[in-house]
Amino acid sequence: MARVYVSSVVRAPASKVWDRIRDFNGLARWHPAIADSQIENGEPSDKVGCVRNFRLQNGDQLREQLLGLSDYDMFCTYSILESPMPLENYVATIRVTPVTDGDAAFLEWSAEFDCDPENEEDLVNGIGNDVFGGGFDALKRQLG
């Protein structure tokens, strides 16, 4: 099983960062790789079980399902249902934790998935740098 973990600090209140991240359909508003997104079947974007269908800037299409969302613990867990990436059983969590020294936010984004061993290094690096790191960098520019 492959694992990816990226963490960062955003110089903004955790509640403000969480407000941006918690909208499961709001990825296009903060992540530069996302062109557009919609929740299937008109369900609310914070309903566990809802599915977001989104398109990347390069035209690739993905579908992800919300598995867990907690405003109290400020985390969101989701799985990939369909993706052009050669992986299976992908489950990821993004978490925001308050940093009380300076009123900042500590962010963690992690994922586990299965893939062929020859694809693992490229997938781990691509997801870690482009998806997770790119998202954190965008949040820093927007909120920090």
Continuous segment of H or E residues that includes residue 100: none
Pairing state of beta strands 104-114 and 88-99? antiparallel
Provide the residue type at 107 as one letter. L
Across the chain, how many H-helices and E-strands are there? 4, 7
98: exposed, middle or buried (Cβ count in 10 Å: 0-12, 13-18, 19+): middle
Q: What is the pLDDT of residues 88-97, one digit of tens each?
A: 999 999 999 9
CA nearest to 78, candidates 37, 116, 106, 42:
37
Q: What is the pLDDT of residues 95-109, one digit of tens each?
A: 999 998 888 999 999
Q: Which domains does the chain have, with CATH numbers?
A: 2-143 (3.30.530.20)
